[in-house]
Amino acid sequence: MLSKIVNMNAELTRKALDKVQNPNVLINVVSRRVRQLNSGGGSGRPLIADTANLGAADIAMREISEDKLSFEQTSDMTTFE
């Protein structure tokens, strides 16, 4: 069972990284989204339907890989929409 979870997380990470292209930016986008998801409220609701058995980081990576979460990288910082 653990190997299935590890493989799923690796697949989610790979798909999200394909969208973002930069691992450092991916870490920042996912960490900010995890904070939003954990805080609740309007921006804390998942943007994907099926979140069963997914942690906040997995939800964030699925949102990125499914183009539900977008970001804009500027020269000074990354902003979220």
pLDDT tens across 48-64, in order?
999 888 899 999 999 99
- Across the chain, mean pLDDT equals 83
Q: How confident is the model at residue 1 (pLDDT cuts 50, 70, 90)?
A: very low
Specify the amino acid at residue 26.
Answer: L
Give the total number of structural domains in the chain.
Answer: 1
In sequence order, the β-bridge partners of residue 71 are 80
Q: What is the model's pLDDT at position 76?
A: 60
Handedness of CA 69, 47, 51, 56 (dihedral sign): positive
CATH code of the domain in which 33 resides: 3.90.940.10
Range of the domain at 20: 2-80
CA-closest candidate to residue 15, choices 60, 53, 48: 60
